Homo-oligomer: A and B are copies of this chain.
């Protein structure tokens, strides 16, 4: 059983009010490390066994068509533990 993680983030040129709210809240709580924060979605997809090349290209297509909106979002596919 492998876990594939698809991370979907807004493109850098798209305004991200959720990330801005987090970036504004951090200093109020005493955390000063953040220069910028962006918030996105992630999907943990469980597949049987080690994912084949065909499955990975299927996952890429699913990430592009169902999991993200390619007009405003980018995605990264990662094979997890």
Contact = CB atoms under 8 A, between A and B. Distances in A.
Give the secondary structure class of A's interface. mixed
Nearest to A62: B31
A53 B62 CA distance: 38
Q: How many copies does the complex hold?
A: 2
Nearest to A52: B33
Question: Looking at chain A, what size class is its interface with the partner chain?
Answer: 35 or more
A37 B26 contact: no
Interface in A33-56: 33-48, 51, 55
Contacts of A14: none
Interface of A: 1, 5, 7, 9, 19, 22, 25-26, 29, 31, 33-48, 51, 55, 58-59, 61-62, 65-67
